[in-house]
Amino acid sequence: MVLAQIEIVRALRRSDLHHALRGLPCIIGFLVDPEDGKIFAEAARDIFKSPYNRRRDNAYEIVHWDAENPGGSKKADASLRHVLSANNRVFGFAAEIDDMPMLFRQAADAIVQTNPIDDRALKAVFRALTGSAPSSDAISEAVAAPLHLLGIAIRRGRSPNSSIRMLKKLIATRSEAAKPPQVSDGPTLADLHGLGEASDWGQRLAADLDDYRSGHIAWADVDRGALLAGPSGTGKTTYARALARTCNVPLHVHSLFHWQAQGHLGDLLKAMRSAFNDARRDAPCIMFLDELDAFGTRNGASDQHEQYTRQVINGFLECLDGIAGREGVVVIGATNLPSKIDPAILRPGRLDKIIVIPLPDATAREGILRYHLGDSLADTDLSDIATRLEGASGAVIEQQVRDARRQARSARRPIVLDDLLASIPARQPLSAASYRRACIHEAGHALVGHLLRHDTGSAPREVVVFREIAANGSGGRTTFSLDHGHDRTLQSHLSRITTFLAGLAAESVVLGEIGDGGGGADDTDLHRATIMAAATEVSLGLGESLAYLSAQNSEDILTWLRWDPALRKRVDSILDDCMEWATELIAERREAFDVIVGELGARGRVSSELIEELLTAHGPRDRPNRSAKAISALVKKASE
């Protein structure tokens, strides 16, 4: 809106129409981007409402001609005559001069062309809304963007870099034509590997849809939606295509970003409803919604965006289960961040089934290699390649095969094993000391995570330690199964922070000092523990104040930490207490802990079943009294 006001003023000044800025009588036409006409009309209305432009004799009117409001009929001319005679100032907006009625063109002082916003104006808006401006190179990519996309991307409280990233995404999807719904000609679920429960659920859905089409079961007996959760690159989009082919139904692919690119809120909601209408016409079908976390949550929206977020989510819920219904439409959402999704979207009858797609294990990695290689290297043992790709996602493995094929084409020969080996990023063997530290670190997460699983709502599923790592890679990982319906209290958050810090605590207990593997980047142990500790204070109402100061996202919370010494002191205290508690738990269960470290060192992998078995064999399964006492002390101290 501010950018539109700036351009209106500049257009008037460029055309020497200063009398319009001084509140004198005028009739001015503006030629604007068709997608931004409504924005310019609202901006002009705000200009006229300004205290500096209020005069008793200065009645005004804004007229906007677009596809929904053409201006060529006799009735339109009669209405326009009244507008022009009854108001001292009239601004008219249209995409083309021919869209303006002849009467208006004849009466107008001038018809002026608005220009794209320049970098100087954009920088000023960035500074006003975000506190700083991005680099000149980043600004240059934004100056040609339509105003409605700039308005979506640049928001108060969002960092300049995040705004630019959002803008690039919106620009990329804006011109993207909707893909015709059709059954994928790619793989079926039987061709994919490492999907776990996602494959089983998809096969059951295919059987149910067959029964539904044949009339053997009602739509009420079919799963109507699911949420795919997992790290980036695990193949959630590929899964949706394979699911559609397995079910032999059309696939409709959409995202909130695609709908946002259609315009402002009204246009977004219209595009959303149109997408669901198209899906209903093709029923039975699958509608795939990528990056579902982009909807956000109504409870986490900042004040200035709360109404927008609420209307978007309410519109989506209406499409999911409104009066029109969606019989025959299975909605599949995908996200890397299931905790960022509004709980109402996950209620029964909507996307109530949460399916986790994990990173592929060694067997799955070999299967993915086989699939992408096709008939190539059919008799070659790929187990060593699969082992070297430890921690790689399906997307990364596909890229390795693509690179290997490119190398073979360059050499004008069929692909060979050496091509695959050359395509794998160089890996650095860990020293004996580094490998042992990684085993100790991950064993700390496993033990403490298991002991506090009832408080955190998550339990360690598998622990893996790598003998070789890629550049900037981690020496190991502990994956957790999440209970998304778990009751989240201060107690559960402190327990989760303690689990995050347990790896460093284990290093301190056994080695006497910690290494640098717990921090240094986003999504590391220290990053997650710090964000969660600060969120209890500034976002979740679980600290010393009930005041809501920030959305629960890393950028906003870190900004608060940098500028608020008192908050930083409280967060330091929480982290110190949780670190101390993790250290105590590991020391108390040292015998079981040492066995887990030994198993990791020998096998490189420990399952949840083995963790349970080891803790049962080396002492009581849990220490609920001790845990409750420790948690109560932390809760009390955090609340003081």
Active site residues: 442
Q: Across-strand partners of 605? A: 464
- Cα(72)–Cα(607) distance, integer angstroms: 73
Neighbours of 18 (CB within 10 A): 10
Conformation bin of residue 23: beta by default, left when phi > 0, alpha when psi is -120 to 50: left
CA-to-CA distance for 421 and 411, rounded, in angstroms? 15
Collapsing DSSP to helix, strand or coil, 61 comes out as strand
Q: What residues are paired with 182 via a beta bridge? A: 251
Strand partners, 481: 459
Residue among 1, 45, 322 at smallest CA distance from 151: 1
3-state secondary structure of 270: helix
- Measured CA angle at 453 (ends 223, 547), to 5 deg: 85
* Amino acid making up residue 114: T
CA distance 52 to 49: 8
Read off the DSSP letter of residue 332.
E
Sign of CA dihedral 62, 67, 68, 69: positive
Residue 137 CA, chain-centre distance (Å), reads 25
What is the residue whose two structure tokens read 């799963």?
A: 223
Bin 248: left if φ > 0, else alpha if -120 < ψ < 50, else beta.
left
Q: How far apart are CA 359 and CA 187, in angstroms?
A: 19
Q: Which amino acid is at 258?
A: H
